[in-house]
């Protein structure tokens, strides 16, 4: 097989007058007088390359009947294109029909709804929108690794199958090899001692606790892996399986944590603007007008910071009828978050120092005795996008919080150990990768930024 050149390279670097071998899929086929135009796309970029096939081809009759979606290999001469909007076209010397597609191909030229395309998630990567989504997703994953690698953070693979939190947590998927039709029972309860791992296990909801252990050995670490929620929520923002990025820094406090989150988030904004121009322009034009200027704004403006207590004051005097109540001690709802970032601040803002009752047991208690060193980053149009905290590094206070929260210390003995020997202040945060992609592409449904989304009653493909 002749070595192909990617269309991205051809369109960006080549000169007219050179021979090229291009392989890809026909997006459209248009038969003119004495000539057939094939818009050939190979997934390397949004643009298709126009292939011009003339009747001198030995298989011209077949080429003229080529269906949308066919795989073809073309050799030819790259020439300046007389058509508007494209630099080159390929004058075909040979067109090999590698894998045909007939009129039953489910993605003919007309526009399809995102809902329909979810039912053909195995084919939707061949469309403009999903090509762009998954190219941006891939670039962003590279950006995440590059950011942390450049800063000397260690990448750690925390476990997917976990024995933590497995007694009764509602949001956990159970993992088992027991015969589910006839599970071994002891006094009416499942005997997990007989299961594969000798205990009850489930799918992780976060790598943070294990990440902390590594931060307390390597200083600065991050995780980037799949996490799971068995939540029966059919919203546009929830999936049962999603990827999460969780950095953790030893010898760091809440301010260092916020500084890292800001640097990271602005880096990612800048990265897609710089490295995904064609795809981002597409989103800006077809999916979310204003996207580019919004992201440019976030990339270039320092973030604000506000105490939770101050945020409550702002919300209480807001000339807006909120659906949910506003009171010191209650959590902020999405409507509150958006009011703060969009109306009060007019840009990204960290809300810090939340009441301890509404935050997780591992967050560090502040000296006021009623708040913890938590931070949420709120951004316009979305609300919370990053959540983090300084962790409670003092063993006695951590044990007291666990006891208050009803968490048995026995299951987390190893986590407590990290505060027993060589403990130190440390902090980290979590960023949902799909939420990030939605924010940066304007795509509004989480199902449309994952290759094969898992949601209630959906695990196809």
Site for a copy of itself in 162-191 (CB under 8 A): 162-163, 173-178, 180-181, 183, 185, 188-190
Nearer to a copy of itself, 346 or 456 (CB): 456
Q: Return the residues of window 224-243 that contact a copy of itself according to CB under 8 A.
A: 225-226, 228, 230, 232, 240-241, 243
Output the smallest distance, CB 324 to a copy of itself, in A. Answer: 28
Q: What is the number of other CB atoms lying within 10 angstroms of the CB of residue 231?
A: 14
| Alpha helix positions (H), 225-328 | 254-275, 277-286, 291-300, 308-316
Half-sphere exposure at residue 333, Cβ-oriented, CA atoms within 13 angstroms = 8
Select from 135-143, 278-286, 319-327, 337-345 the region that touches a copy of itself (CB under 8 A): 135-143
> In angstroms, how far is the first alpha carbon of the chain from the final one?
30
Part of the chain binding a copy of itself (CB under 8 A), chosen from 57-65, 217-225, 350-358, 372-380? 217-225
Is residue 423 at the binding interface for a copy of itself, with CB under 8 A as the rule?
Answer: yes
Return the biggest CA–CA distance within the chain: 84
| Closest approach of a copy of itself to the CB of residue 396, in Å | 13
Residues 6+ apart with CB under 8 A from 155: 145, 148, 149, 221, 222, 223, 224
The pattern of x and - marking residues 10 through 49 that bind a copy of itself according to CB under 8 A reads -------------xxxx---------------xxx-----
Bridge partners of residue 255, in order along the sequence? none
Q: What's the rounded Cα separation, in Å, for the pair 127 and 107? A: 8
User: How far apart (Å, rounded) are the C-alpha atoms in residues 83 and 39?
Assistant: 13
Chain length of the chain? 461
Virtual CA dihedral for 397, 403, 409, 412, nearest 10 degrees?
A: -70
What minimum distance in Å lies between the beta carbon of 336 and a copy of itself? 31
Contacts of a copy of itself in 354-393 (CB under 8 A): 393
In whole angstroms, give the CA distance from residue 318 to residue 310. Answer: 12
CB of 341 to a copy of itself, least distance (A): 28
> Is residue 134 a contact point for a copy of itself (CB under 8 A)?
yes
Do 8 and 275 touch, CB atoms closer than 8 A? no
Q: Which of residues 240-259 bind a copy of itself (CB under 8 A)?
A: 240-241, 243, 250-253, 256
> Among residues 157, 286, 289, 316, which is the contact residue for a copy of itself, using CB under 8 A?
157
User: What's the min distance (Å) between Cβ of 451 and a copy of itself?
Assistant: 6
Asked if residue 218 binds a copy of itself (CB under 8 A), the reply is: yes
Q: CB of 427 within 8 A of CB of 390?
A: yes
Which residues face 72 on adjacent strands?
Answer: 24, 97
447 forms part of the interface with a copy of itself (CB under 8 A)? no
Let me know if 444 is exposed, middle or buried by CB neighbors in 10 A (0-12, 13-18, 19+): middle
Q: How many Å apart are CA 190 and CA 184, to the nearest integer?
A: 6
Cβ nearer to a copy of itself, comparing 179 with 327: 179
Write out the binding residues for a copy of itself, residues 63-102 only, by CB under 8 A: 67, 69-71, 73, 98-102
Residue 338 φ/ψ, nearest 5 degrees: -70, -35
Q: Which of 213, 281, 305, 318 binds a copy of itself (CB under 8 A)?
A: 213
Residue 253 CB, shortest distance to a copy of itself, in Å, is 6
Q: Does the footprint of a copy of itself cover residue 451 (CB under 8 A)?
A: yes
The CB-of-368 to a copy of itself minimum distance in angstroms stands at 20
Q: In the bound complex, what is the minimum distance in angstroms from residue 378's beta carbon to a copy of itself?
A: 26
Closer residue to a copy of itself in complex, CB, 59/232: 232
- Burial-class residue 43 by CB neighbours within 10 Å (0-12, 13-18, 19+): middle
| In the complex, least distance from residue 280 CB atom to a copy of itself, rounded to whole angstroms | 16
Can you tell me whether residue 307 is helix, strand or coil? strand
- Should residue 319 be labelled a site residue for a copy of itself when binding is judged by CB under 8 A? no
Considering the rule CB under 8 A, would residue 267 count as an interface residue with a copy of itself? no
Min dist CB 50 to a copy of itself, Å, is 18
**Residue 72's CB: how many other CB atoms inside 10 A?**
23
Position 278 contacts a copy of itself (CB under 8 A): no
């Amino acid at each position: 097989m002749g070595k192909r050149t990617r269309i991205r390279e051809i369109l960006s670097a080549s000169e007219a007058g050179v021979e090229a071998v291009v392989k890809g899929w026909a997006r459209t086929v248009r038969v003119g007088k004495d000539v057939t135009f094939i818009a050939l796309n190979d997934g390397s970029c949004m643009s298709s390359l126009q292939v011009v096939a003339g009747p001198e081809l030995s298989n011209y009759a077949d080429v003229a009947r080529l269906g949308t979606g066919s795989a073809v290999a073309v050799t030819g001469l790259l020439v300046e294109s007389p058509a508007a909007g494209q630099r080159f076209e390929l004058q075909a010397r040979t067109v090999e029909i590698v894998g045909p597609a007939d009129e039953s191909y489910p993605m003919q030229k007309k526009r399809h709804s995102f809902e329909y395309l979810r039912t053909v998630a195995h084919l939707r990567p061949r469309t403009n929108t999903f090509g762009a989504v998954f190219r941006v997703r891939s670039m962003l994953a590279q950006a995440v690794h590059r950011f942390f690698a450049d800063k000397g953070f260690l990448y750690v693979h925390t476990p997917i199958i976990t024995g933590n939190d497995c007694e009764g947590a509602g949001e956990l998927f159970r993992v088992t090899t027991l015969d589910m039709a006839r599970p071994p029972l002891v006094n009416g309860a499942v005997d997990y001692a007989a299961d594969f791992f000798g205990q009850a296990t489930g799918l992780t909801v976060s790598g943070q606790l294990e990440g902390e252990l590594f931060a307390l050995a390597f200083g600065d670490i991050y995780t980037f892996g799949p996490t799971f929620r068995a939540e029966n929520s059919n919203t546009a923002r929830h999936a049962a399986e999603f990827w999460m990025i969780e950095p953790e820094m030893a010898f760091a406090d809440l301010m260092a944590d916020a500084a890292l989150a800001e640097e990271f988030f602005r880096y990612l904004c800048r990265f897609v603007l710089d490295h995904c121009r064609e795809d981002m322009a597409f989103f800006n034009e077809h999916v979310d007008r204003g996207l580019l200027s919004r992201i440019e704004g976030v990339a270039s403006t320092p973030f604000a910071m506000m105490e939770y207590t101050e945020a409550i004051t702002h919300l209480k005097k807001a000339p807006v009828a909120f659906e949910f109540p506003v009171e010191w001690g209650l959590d902020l709802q999405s409507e509150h978050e958006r009011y703060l970032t969009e109306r009060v601040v007019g840009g990204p803002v960290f809300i810090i120092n939340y009441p301890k009752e509404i935050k997780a047991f591992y967050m560090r208690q502040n000296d006021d005795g009623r708040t913890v060193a938590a931070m949420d980053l709120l951004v316009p149009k979305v609300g919370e996008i990053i959540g983090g905290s300084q962790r409670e590094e003092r063993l006695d206070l951590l044990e007291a919080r666990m006891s208050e929260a009803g968490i048995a210390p026995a299951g987390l003995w190893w986590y407590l150990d990290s505060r027993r020997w060589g403990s130190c202040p440390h902090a980290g945060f979590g960023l949902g990768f799909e939420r990030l992609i939605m924010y940066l592409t304007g795509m509004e449904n989480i199902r449309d930024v994952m290759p094969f989304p898992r949601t209630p009653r959906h695990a196809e493909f």
